[in-house]
Chain A
Amino acid sequence: MTQQEFLAKFAAQFEETDPSTITIDTKFREIDEWSSMVVLVIIAMVDEEFSLKLTGDDIKKSTTVHDLYMIVSSKK
């Protein structure tokens, strides 16, 4: 999984946010649409697309989309 692939899948999970406004350096908590429901949607996406488990703790430790990508890639 490349950084681009991860970013594309991540951005695609947002229903009301233009995907082009989300970059690898975006601080995901600053996205307007970010909520506890979106957390679940992202966790489900990582499981479905990459067969990997992203935990609440992983998200807590992360600030940017890049941080999430690094954690997910380390799980392979």
Chain B
Amino acid sequence: MKAYLKHLSVYLPGKSFTNQEINEKFPGWEVDKISKITGIYNRHIAATDEFASDMAVKVAKQLFDENAIDPATIDFVILCTQNPDYFLPSTACIIQDSLNIPTSAGALDINLGSSGYIYGLGLAKGLIYAGIARNILFLTADTYSKFIHPADKSDRTIFGDAATATIVSADPGVAEILDFDFGTDGKGAENLILKRGGMRYPHTDNEEVIFDEYGNARNENYLFMNGTEIFNFTSQNVPGLVANVLAKNKYSLEDVDLFIFHQANKFMLTHLRKKIKIPDEKFYVDMEDCGNTVCSTIPIALQRAMSKTNLGKGSKVLLAGFGVGYSWGGCIVAF
């Protein structure tokens, strides 16, 4: 029994949020200096009436068209999003209907951020190995831009919106999905959180934003990210994650041809690359134009690596996602 990554498609919303616009909105912040450090010069932003299901349906249709896929062949739909259309029903159910996927298919949402792509691949592989499904449509779609306060220049500069579609199949595809490592630490929950609007703390009318001394914007109705804590979390946990993934797959660091990490920002990625001692030419960074698109960063980077580098038969790629939760996961895909 094997599970394959078969097809991959990416959707970036049409509207761009450029550095120029940021300079105009926040004069004196000198965003281009920030960009030198973060590696992010542009972001794509979903339209005001464009939501996760819209983007997911769009990218799925694109995937079907690009690869002559009949929706009738899909027997399971997984959507990873932290921006569901509703609390209920699951957005995946709405997507099944919009795509004319058979009603005999299973469908569910998973709520994860930057680790989400790895978890989705793991779940899809599990469904195949258990004989539950053979042809899984795994979608990622987030509109974090709608969570960010207009005055929160740090987060508005970093995050972008996107959606991706992947087919994970029991039938041979471009790469085999090998073994995984996962981890969780809920102690980090408060460091990347949108506190209000769920069941525990309802939304309030408060639109005021308070900046802490690191420039982190606080308003409980909007996204909050503690940059220094998140940086330390990745610095402490990702090296161990990579070591575990290598061990589970019985590979050494040198056996891996390309490392694709969650594309959070170039500064953090560079620090991790140096810490783990990954050679520069084996470390893929490609997010200048789209920023941190949460669970879509890994599939976007993977698709770009497939077309822009000499990844081919025999290549081993290590994927690693980490972030909100705290949650992390990694795996190897073998071309």
Contacts and interface: CB of A to CB of B under 8 A. Distances in A.
Interface string A25-57: 000010000011101110110011000010110
B228 A56 contact: yes
Nearest to B274: A48
B215 A48 contact: no
B154 A47 contact: no
A56 B216 CA distance: 12
A43 B228 contact: yes
Contacts of B235: 43-44, 47, 53
Interface in B16-51: 33-34, 37
Interface string A56-74: 1001100000000000000
Of the candidates A40, A41, A60, the one having the most CB atoms from chain B within 10 angstroms of its own CB is: A40
B231 A44 contact: yes
B227 A40 contact: yes
Contact of A36 (B33, B154, B229): B154
Given A48-B274, A53-B236, A40 B216 contact: no
A40 B231 contact: yes
B87 interface: no
B226 A56 contact: yes
Contact of A40 (B33, B213, B228): B228
B158 to A, nearest CB: 12
B275 A35 contact: no
Contact of B275 (A41, A47, A59): A47
Given A35-B215, A36-B215, A36-B216, A44 B271 contact: yes
A60 B33 CA distance: 24
Interface residues of B, number: 20
Main secondary structure of the interface of B (DSSP, over half): helix
A29 B227 CA distance: 18
A39 B231 CA distance: 11
Contact of B228 (A29, A35, A48, A59): A59
B32 to A, nearest CB: 12
Contacts of A56: 214, 226, 228-229, 232
Contacts of B227: 36, 39-40
A1 B231 CA distance: 23
Contacts of B154: 36
B267 interface: yes
Nearest to B154: A36
A37 B34 contact: yes
Nearest to B267: A40
A36 B229 CA distance: 12
Contacts of A36: 154, 214-216, 227
Given A47-B271, A48-B275, A60-B213, A53 B34 contact: no
Contacts of A44: 231, 235, 267, 271
Interface in B259-297: 267, 271, 274-275
Interface in B215-257: 215-216, 226-229, 231-232, 235-236
B272 to A, nearest CB: 10
A31 B43 CA distance: 31
A17 B327 CA distance: 38
Interface of B: 33-34, 37, 154, 213-216, 226-229, 231-232, 235-236, 267, 271, 274-275
18 contacts: A36-B227, A37-B33, A37-B34, A39-B214, A39-B227, A39-B228, A40-B231, A40-B267, A41-B267, A43-B232, A44-B235, A44-B267, A47-B271, A48-B271, A53-B232, A55-B232, A56-B214, A59-B228
Interface of A: 29, 35-37, 39-41, 43-44, 47-48, 53, 55-56, 59-60
Given A43-B232, A44-B231, A56-B229, 7 more contacts: A35-B215, A40-B267, A41-B267, A43-B231, A43-B235, A44-B267, A44-B271
